[in-house]
Amino acid sequence: MGSQEVLNETTRLASSSALLQILFRVITFGLNAFTLRYVSKEIIGLVNVRLMLLYTTVVFLAREAFRRACLSGSTRRNWTKTVNLLWLVVPLGVCWSVFLGWVWLHILEVPDVKAVPYYQFGVIVFGLSAVVELLGEPFWVLAQAHLFVRLKVIAESLSIISKCVLTVILVVLHPQWGLYIFSLSQLLYTTVLVLCYVTYFMKFLGSPEATKKSFPVSKMTDILPNFMEDESFVNWKEARLTWSFFKQSFLKQILTEGERYVMTFLNVLNFGDQGPSLLRCYCLYVLLLAINGVTECFTFASMCKEEVDRYNFVMLALSFTFLCISYFLTHWQGSIGFILANCFNMGIRIAHSIHYIYNYFKDSSYRPLTGLLISPLLIFVYVVSGIVTGFSEVLLCCDKGWLARLSHITVGALCFTATLITVFFTETKLIYFVRTHFLSRYTKKEIK
């Protein structure tokens, strides 16, 4: 596969992942709004925060290091050893699931049985669903390494739809089941996800398409653990890199889900009526999140093992600082404090990545960091839009009747349109990228 084809496939993968995330968030939001009519907000809150935190923690700690190590470098490797290494995520996931399940049941405060029944069942099933998802890890890495974009989209879409359908059916027919509903739906989600990958590879391996692509695996038994005579069970270079990433994964998980841990273990949060203020702060957080995603991705991809080990100490200090700031800011600013703490976390990580990228390219003619700079005209439009919508909120929103509300929405829409037009004329590289990697693909399909 040529470099341009790889770039196109990577772009498709990134865009598909982004669309899937948007779809998942929209469906989750709609599902929560629907289930609130049948199930108490205490149950939904427990599922979305505490039980999902258990699930994501088990999955992340068990597989993140293996993914990053096995997806780094070329696809030309001894895949038998790589697959052997990947299967270690399952026993590791079982250990994490048992340990964290015990913490969730015996260390954390158990919710009131009358308000949230079947809590123990929920913890067990969410831990089990994490282990089930880990069973598909070798298939996922093979698909990701060889850019099977459509498989990822179909598998995740089917699993999300299956989860939502089962949730709606059980909520309508048996709302008294409570956590049984969400636990069974989560287990169905992971089961369908794994079955999609397994079914695809059962059909793909040995097919003419696999032969044409020179796929490194020829039959399903090759994706199972294999012992080789006179050879090591795993690639020890990959194993050492995995260990480096594994030590870092603890710290990264704290930085990623730190506010949920504070919320779960310390019970410091009271949301109150902070919705609009939360959304404003979250807009800033999303901006920092986008920048960090690009800068940190390059940083980790280009670091050697020694640099990763050194960065672990930076992550350790940052994790401790982040948890302390999260705790104090939530006491001071409530739920907004969580977002401000995350903004601080992202800002520090961006600063470190920018420093690394600057040193990496300082002796070359490339200056990729200039891509962070936006047009002064666009900055001016952002500032003016912020001022105009701020005045509009004070004068027109939100207790002055529907006509004033519609006027406020119209002002926001006009500012948004002005911003988009400015982006179109000033961010020429972005527009060119969209035209060449997205619009051109659809144009070619129409011509065919």
Per-position DSSP letters for 197-228, written without gaps between them: HHHHHHHHTTSHHHHHTT-S--SGGGGS----
Is 226 found in the same domain as 86? yes
Regarding predicted confidence, which is higher, 143 or 256? Answer: 143
Is 213 found in the same domain as 345? no
The verdict on residue 271 lying in a domain is no
Kindly give, in sequence order, each residue whose CB lies less than 8 Å from that of residue 84, ignoring residues fewer than 6 positions away.
225, 226, 233, 234
Measured distance CA(401)–CA(415) in Å, rounded:
22
The verdict on residue 338 lying in a domain is yes
Is 324 found in the same domain as 211? no
The verdict on residue 267 lying in a domain is no
The verdict on residue 144 lying in a domain is yes
The verdict on residue 274 lying in a domain is no
- Predicted local distance difference test score (pLDDT) of residue 332: 78
CB atoms within 10 A of CB 156: 20
Measured distance CA(424)–CA(429) in Å, rounded:
10
Is 221 found in the same domain as 362? no
- Predicted local distance difference test score (pLDDT) of residue 271: 45
CB atoms within 10 A of CB 281: 20
User: Structural domain of residue 223, as residue ranges?
Assistant: 3-257
Which of the residue ranges 214-218, 390-394, 411-415 would you say has the lowest mean pLDDT? 214-218
User: What integer best gives the mean pLDDT of the chain?
Assistant: 81
The verdict on residue 266 lying in a domain is no
Regarding predicted confidence, which is higher, 175 or 268? Answer: 175
- What is the token pair recorded at 313? 């100490």
Which of the residue ranges 175-184, 287-296, 305-314 would you say has the lowest mean pLDDT? 305-314
- Predicted local distance difference test score (pLDDT) of residue 194: 95
Kindly give, in sequence order, each residue whose CB lies less than 8 Å from that of residue 387, ignoring residues fewer than 6 positions away.
none
The verdict on residue 312 lying in a domain is yes
What total number of domains does the chain contain? 3
Which of the residue ranges 110-119, 368-377, 437-446 would you say has the lowest mean pLDDT? 437-446
Measured distance CA(107)–CA(129) in Å, rounded:
21
Mean pLDDT of 114-128: 90
pLDDT tens profile 349-381? 899 889 989 988 888 888 888 888 888 999 999
Which of the residue ranges 102-116, 142-156, 315-329 would you say has the lowest mean pLDDT? 315-329
pTM: 0.69
Please give the C-alpha separations between residue 110 and each of 13, 46, 87, 107, 400, in angstroms, as whole numbers.
41, 11, 34, 8, 45
The verdict on residue 155 lying in a domain is yes
What stretches of 216-274 show up as alpha helix (H) in DSSP? 236-266
- The pLDDT-based confidence of 388 (bands split at 50, 70, 90) is very high
In contact, 159 and 189? CB cutoff 8 Å? yes
pLDDT tens profile 10-65? 666 666 666 766 777 777 777 767 777 788 777 887 888 789 989 999 999 999 88
- Predicted local distance difference test score (pLDDT) of residue 71: 80
Is 95 found in the same domain as 243? yes
Domain-ending residue, one of 352, 373, 394: 373
Is 133 found in the same domain as 101? yes
- What is the token pair recorded at 419? 């911003």
- Predicted local distance difference test score (pLDDT) of residue 265: 67
Measured distance CA(121)–CA(183) in Å, rounded:
8
Domain-ending residue, one of 198, 233, 257: 257
- What is the token pair recorded at 271? 């949301």
CB atoms within 10 A of CB 277: 15
Is 428 found in the same domain as 307? no
